[in-house]
Amino acid sequence: MTVADRVIENAARAWSVPVAELLGPGKRQRLCWARWSAMGALSDMGWSTPAIGRALNRDHTTVLYGLGRLNR
């Protein structure tokens, strides 16, 4: 299990969403916040936005948007 897998599982557990849905195309508010929290945790660990995007099946620009939402 990679570091990203652990971070994703922790975010999914914290927000009470299944990991498969967190990695899927869903756009429910709870899913988005779970993804954004995982993005923030990985970013705090020094991961690049393209690497975070690959871990979460997202584009790096989506990661930039998510990190921006965390900082509002």
**Domain of residue 37, CATH code:** 1.10.1750.10
Domain that holds residue 58: 3-70
Which residues of the chain register pLDDT less than 70? Answer: none
Q: Structural domain tally of the chain?
A: 1
Q: How far apart are CA 3 and CA 68, in angstroms?
A: 22
pLDDT score of 35: 97
pLDDT of residue 34: 97
Write out the two tokens for 8: 């994703």
Q: Give residue 72's pLDDT.
A: 82
Question: What pLDDT is stored for residue 71 in this prediction?
Answer: 87
Tell me which residue of 42, 29, 40, 48 sits closest to 66, measured CA to CA. Answer: 40
